[in-house]
Structures are given as C-alpha cells and as structure tokens.
Structure 1
Amino acid sequence: MGFGLVVRFVARDETAARAFDGLAREALEGIRAEEPGTLVYVNHTVPEEPLVRVFYELYADRQAFEEHERQPHVRRFLEERGQYLESFEATFLDEIDGKRPAARTV
C-alpha cells in the first residue's frame, strides 16, 4: 500500500520563499530522474498566503520513502531548508484506498 505525507512550510519572508522554491526545484530534478518509487512529489503555493508552501508526496510504499530520504539531493534539501523557514509541519499518511498514478515502467 502507498505511503505519503503532506508538509506545510512557512518561509521567513518573500526572499526566503523564492530561495526555498529554488532549493525545492533542485531536489525535484533528482527526484524526477532517480526515484521510481516516488509517485507524486508536488510543491504547492497557498492562495492568500504567499509565504506558505505545501508539499504533497506519495510513495509506492514505506521503503520507497526511506530510499527517497537517503538520496543526496534530498539530504541537501533537508539540511539547507531551515535557513529559509519560520516553521514547518509534516503529517504522515497511510493509504486506505483511492485513485493513484499508474506504476511507471522503465
């Protein structure tokens, strides 16, 4: 079954929000290229809250998430994000049922 999380980030200011977005974009390059078990990884803005970013992440399973966390591009993101943030909150999710992306074939 799938494993996911939602993370809400609050940037310190608009400059920090832009820098955070750049850091996230760099991580996404590696995620797209090197993580077949990461099914969805999306950074969202929140209308009327310009300093807030919400990530939605869906993995094939818990092991795929753990592999994601070990990747160098993710380690860099996790180590550097704090300088841009006022706060963040993560909510972990275990899938019950739903429609999800089809598994990629290589």
Structure 2
Amino acid sequence: MSEGFGLVVRFTLRDEKAAAEFDELCSRTLEGIKADEPGTLAYVTHTPEGEPLVRVFYELYTDRAAFDAHEEQPHTKHFLAEREQYLAGVEVTFLDAIAGKVAVQQ
C-alpha cells in the first residue's frame, strides 16, 4: 500500500481551561480543513478514555504533497501559531501505510 501519508499527534493540555480553549481552536480549524482540503482524507480528533487533558489527532492525506498543502493553509498556520499556549506537551508520529482500506473519494 504505497498511497497515503498519515500521522498521529498526541497533545497534552495544561489544564481543563486550556483543554476547552484548545477544543474550540480545533473546531474552527476543522471548518477550514473540511472546506478547502480535498487531499485530506481523514482528520479526526480523539480524547482517550480516562485522559481528559489529552487529545489525539489522526490525520490521513492522499500523499505527502497533500500534507504539505495542508500545512500551508491559513487555518493550519493559525492553529500552529495559537496551539502552544494551551499545551504541556506534543508527540508526533509519522506513519507509512503498509496495508489497509481507504475510502474512495468521488
């Protein structure tokens, strides 16, 4: 499975207030992703059970170029500039697909 480029990002937030504000920032950012990024196949935020101050993002793009285009969008640049004030830590894992099923874009 050579197509697709993905990553998982784990954000640890400073406190409950920071978590609420971070979630609002994510919501606004997602509006731009949904409207302007045809190469973004999945962009999903999760809260792990029992970890209320953690957010895990799963991102899947058609290819590396689609990820690079995502990074250049104004809504993404805004998110990257604003997120630091809410964070206690961040871990990024880039993923190479070796097998799986991906929904077909129409």
Q: Does 1:72 align with 2:43?
A: no
Q: TM-score, normalised by structure 2?
A: 0.96
* 1:46 equivalent in structure 2: 48
Matches within 5 A, 1:64-103: 64-103=66-105
Superposed displacement of residue 66, structure 1? 0.2
Q: TM-score, normalised by structure 1?
A: 0.96
- Aligned-residue Cα RMSD (Å) equals 0.6
* 2:31 equivalent in structure 1: 29
* 1:5 equivalent in structure 2: 7
State the percentage of identical aligned residues: 62
5+ residue gaps, structure 1, are none
5+ residue gaps, structure 2, are none
Superposed displacement of residue 100, structure 1? 1.0
Name the amino acid aligned to 1:58. Answer: L
- Give the Cα separation in 1 of the matches to 2:39 and 2:52: 31
User: Which stretches of structure 1, 4 residues or more, deviate above 6 A after TM superposition?
Assistant: none
How many pairs were matched up?
104
